[in-house]
Chains A and B, each alone.
Chain A
Amino acid sequence: MTKFRLALLSALTVAVSAHADVTLLNVSYDPTRELYAEYNAAFAKHWQAAGGEAITINQSHGGSGKQARAVIDGLEADVVTLGLAYDIDAIADKGGLLPKDWQKAHPYNSTPYTSTIVLLVRKGNPKGIKDWNDLTRDGVAVITPNPKTSGGARWNYLAAWAYGRETLGSDAAARDFVAKLFKNVAVLDTGARGATTTFAERGIGDVLITWENEAYLAQKELGADAFEIVTPSLSILAEPPVAVVDKVAGKHGTLQAAQAYIDYLYSKEGQEIAARNFYRPRDPEVAAKYAARFKDTRLVTVDEAFGGWARAHAEHFADGALFDQIFDGR
């Protein structure tokens, strides 16, 4: 009898767990690995505490543009958390997997956390790098990924451009400034993490242009005393957006969980996790708590400085556009 009951019980648990298992796939970009490792564990707890089923969140990471391409080609992401809005626009336009106005679905243009672009230099700042203009000096080797393949690199490029225009007064002067900067680029990796490895692990270059969160992480993982972070006088407000991929989540029957997954990013706990992983939180209270970590500097947005991502892409990064002209003329 006991045996029978045990068998029944185990059969029941199998049935229950088979029914209850929900799986989400979050397709993300390179630097968020550590952030989502922590966030996924917290969300799974929160979801179950709120009466949800047991939930598994799978992660896929890679260069932002490459990941968007994979989702368009059929990588079944329930949510995407990518490096820039342009890549999710591509999923909406070319893949038709979510509405074109996806960015209105969540607060703050669907970017629950932000970052900015900073300069990472070696201990003691041997080349005396204080701001963007130091990167155009002779004999300074710069590391940045390729804007054609890396979302982070596009932010880097636009931040340098915004600084050039601000200090030199015109787009023409900014173009010369950025061209001069790219003459100093020693290695052009395909992604942000690859560029960090080139700079930090392989010891190439004097300065790495990178996400603030990536710079802090490099310090944390590879030695706080090996590198220094230089926040330039002007930089760009990098807004890595998030979205539920409606068509895929609808097919999987995971819309509700995917929605909750994104919403929880905006909660106090979600914002704390973002801040702990060196992303600038949106929530004013959490932001105030971590104020010491994130240096105040002037930040321009892509919308105000470059007329939005669609225009910035057409003018700067499309084939034959400004970046190609600058880089070919190197």
Chain B
Amino acid sequence: MSAASNPVITETRGVRVLLIALACLFLGVVLVLPLAVVVGEALAKGLGAWWAAIDEPNALAALRLTLTAAAIAVPANLVFGVCAAWAVAKFEFKGKQLLITLIDLPFAVSPVIAGLIYVLLFGAHGWFGPALAAHDLKVIFAVPGIVLATVFVTFPFVARELIPVMQAQGSDEEEVAATLGASGWQTFWRVTLPNIKWALLYGVILCNARAMGEFGAVSVVSGHIRGLTNTLPLHVEILYNEYNFVAAFATASLLMLLALITLVLKSLVEARAAAAARAAHKAREHNS
């Protein structure tokens, strides 16, 4: 589409080129350059050194822990997010505003504070500390604490994606389903879920990206025990502090790879969602 054929564009060609160039330059310096540096540093001593840094017990343990934390945090937030969005979008009740505010809390609170909350709750001198110690249960400085901190910081992603979609759709279709005699569960599977599936997937992907990349909150509750309570981001910091730059960047590149996979999935989902929306639109036009 050229400018001449699009009457909406009033800027001259020069202005447009300048704006696009500025945007590209900014992206290049802020996003692409650092990524290139990470890859460059990771491969500074060749593929062999890169692989040696990844194929190492502590790095693999960190990878396993990061994936474990994400594997627990993402489904937990998926279930919670659907419930919360359902409640907010489909029902009127007292305290609804409060619930919406609470969902946003993890976005507003600094991750370090989020970590400290768990130390205050589950630490040896925290609220539940003595009770946990009496049953020899460990929460902070162990895997449960890391999972909890991850759940906390990734809490809003799914709900935040779903609420606007569900609010826009209203509850007409569900009401129809109910008048036709569908049970609540049937309504959810056959009516609600198909309507929100792309938004849901998108929320899950964002949630997963954050879960794997979280540093601050996890750092506070980790205890930094090598091979036991270090996640990938923490492992990167440790290696860097040990002057082990190639290994640090190799691990960082692994994290980056996970992020890139997430991003590719995200754009696939977006494309599929757009296609689905177009198809639905066409079908509606055809019917009317």
Q: Which residues of A contact B (CB under 8 A)?
A: 25, 30, 33-34, 58-62, 70, 72-76, 94-95, 193-194, 197, 217, 221-222
Closest to B132 in A: A74
Q: Do A58 and B225 touch across chains, with their CB atoms under 8 A apart?
A: yes
Q: Do B223 and A70 touch across chains, with their CB atoms under 8 A apart?
A: yes
Closest CB pairs A-B (n = 4): A74-B124, A73-B123, A221-B243, A75-B141
Q: Do A73 and B140 touch across chains, with their CB atoms under 8 A apart?
A: yes
* Chain A: minimal CB distance from B131 (Å): 13
Within the assembled complex, what's the spacing in Å between the Cα atoms of A198 and B242? 13
Q: Do B238 and A73 touch across chains, with their CB atoms under 8 A apart?
A: no
B241 at the interface (CB under 8 A from A): yes
How extensive is the interface on chain B, given as a class? 20 to 34
- What B residues does A34 contact at CB under 8 A? 242
Within the assembled complex, what's the spacing in Å between the Cα atoms of A266 and B56? 31
Contact with A along B196-226 (1 / 0, CB 8 A): 0000000000000000000000000001111
- What A residues does B238 contact at CB under 8 A? 61
- What B residues does A60 contact at CB under 8 A? 223-226
Q: Do A73 and B225 touch across chains, with their CB atoms under 8 A apart?
A: no
- Contact partner, B241, options A58, A75, A95, A193, Cβ 8 Å: A193
Beyond A62-B224, A74-B123, list 12 extra A-B contacts (CB 8 Å).
A33-B241, A34-B242, A59-B225, A60-B223, A61-B241, A72-B124, A73-B124, A74-B129, A74-B133, A76-B141, A193-B241, A222-B243
Contact with A along B16-50 (1 / 0, CB 8 A): 00000000000000000000000000000000000
B266 at the interface (CB under 8 A from A): no
Closest to A220 in B: B243
* Chain B: minimal CB distance from A213 (Å): 14
* Chain A: minimal CB distance from B69 (Å): 18
Within the assembled complex, what's the spacing in Å between the Cα atoms of A95 and B125? 8
Most buried by A among B122, B125, B126, B141: B141
* Chain B: minimal CB distance from A212 (Å): 17
